[in-house]
Amino acid sequence: MARTKKSMADVKKSEIAKNKESELVKTKKSEMAKTKKSVRKTKDQENPQALIGQRLKKYRTHEEIVNLAHRLFQKCPSIIYALQHKVEQSHDSDKVRIASEDTLRLIGLALQKRIKDEKYEIVHFPTNPENYLSFCDLTEVVLHPERKMWHTFVMQDQTDVLENLHGPEGSLPLWKIRKSLKKKLNEDKLASVQMDVNNETGIQTVFLRIATTPKIKNIKKAERNLLTVKPTFLVYFPGEQYFYADSSVPNENHCQALVEVLKCSAYEEIPLSGRHVESLRQLRLNRDQPENIDHELWMDTDQPLPTLNLFTVSAVNDMTCDGKRVIMEDFKSSIEIKGNDVLNGLREISQKSKEMISQPPPSWIQKAVYRGRHQVCIKPKKKTLQTSTPSRSAANRKKGKNNFLFKIYVFLD
């Protein structure tokens, strides 16, 4: 017995030693990963042009890169003309590479104050690399907002100030938003704010890129930190009480700063997300302005519905057998529909496949475009009140309430 106890104690000691050893290995690996990340971050800060080059790789056509260069160096038309000419003369397979390399070369010359005009006079451009990096970042998002997943937030506009805030008699013209944001954020942080007002879709849209880093005594180091900090992208349609963020949990300070600049008090998330920010806006307008809704929209196949990538239908009901006997109470079920264009896909299925969706379609389908959310919960039918004492079997069912959740995933391409 004594030997057995001793052997068991030895086994436990060896297990404890192994666990400690594995924990030490994990800690060392974690520290090594942090060190590598820190070294990589430092290298990136020391070579900002490499970071800008990474941003340029997101541009997939030479036309987009040349237009970016045109906006960056519009004070010196001659270098833009030279860039365009060089790209046009190159082979199709080389156009993107040449446009990207030459734009990056021009940014390097601008940082060193080496760009000269036809009179050989120096043309002054920003010498902070963060200006170019943030501008490249934002311009790519403006060109392709569908590459991000946007999440909807509503602002509390208690005095209805937003409606006239940016008008002729308003206190905040659009061009002042960027300056006001930067001033507010710079109170506690070193801030970078880029803004672009886009009208290409026919709807005035404000795109924002915000990055902040703590203020430190070494200003140069703080400016380098801005190069690698994660930015927040926000979209705002002037005069409306919503903004859209590229994360479901965006930087709270960035969002609150925008809310306060727009004379609102607070904000909260709405369960509405997707890659097409104009469609998210339309879905909220459909909900907020019911008098403008065309109630035959679902049946009008010539008019496309807003584009959604996700729609969830959930329900809570008692499961019955033969339509009478309850075998499970509060049975939860949900259908998650995902795809490139969920609402239009659902409409097409409902019209072409009567076996899958009943005719007329359920109200949750027809009203999906008016809810202003990407989810709907079907409420159970109201139960009649029991005046008599419930039976023992009913009491047992109540005790055995089952919160089982049943999910179905549907993908529409």
The CATH number covering residue 250 comes to 3.60.90
Residue 31 reports pLDDT greater than 90: no
DSSP state of 217: S
Mean pLDDT value across the chain: 84
User: Mind listing the pLDDT tens digit for each residue in 378-393?
Assistant: 876 655 444 444 444 4
Whether residues 112 and 172 fall in one domain: no
Q: What's the whole-number mean pLDDT along residues 192-219?
A: 94
Q: What's the whole-number mean pLDDT along residues 193-213?
A: 95
State how many domains the chain has: 3
Whether residues 268 and 338 fall in one domain: no
Whether residues 155 and 278 fall in one domain: yes
User: Mind listing the pLDDT tens digit for each residue in 67-77?
Assistant: 999 999 999 99
Tokens of 339: 């795809």
Contact status, residue 78 vs residue 118, Cβ threshold 8 Å: yes
Query: Could you tell me if residue 71 is inside a domain?
Result: yes
Query: Could you tell me if residue 19 is inside a domain?
Result: no
Of 312, 305, 251, 262, residue with least CA distance to 282:
305
Q: Which of 213-217, 218-222, 405-409 comes out lowest in average pLDDT?
A: 405-409
Q: What is the pLDDT of residue 201?
A: 82
Q: What's the whole-number mean pLDDT along residues 347-356?
A: 76
Geometric angle at alpha carbon 14, from 11 and 20, rounded to 5°? 140
CA distances from 366 to 63, 71, 294, 302, 346 (A): 42, 45, 12, 16, 10
What is the domain extent for residue 315?
310-412
- In this prediction, residue 320 has a pLDDT band, given cuts at 50, 70 and 90, of confident
Residue 346 reports pLDDT greater than 60: yes
Tokens of 244: 């859209």
Whether residues 193 and 279 fall in one domain: yes
Q: What is the pTM of this model?
A: 0.80
Give the whole-angstrom CA distance, residue 148 versus residue 165. Answer: 28
Whether residues 214 and 272 fall in one domain: yes
b or e along 106-135 (b: 16 or more beta carbons within 10 Å of the residue's beta carbon)?
A: bbbebbeeebeeeeeeebebeeebbbbbbb
Of 87, 91, 100, residue with least CA distance to 60:
100
Tokens of 321: 């057998």
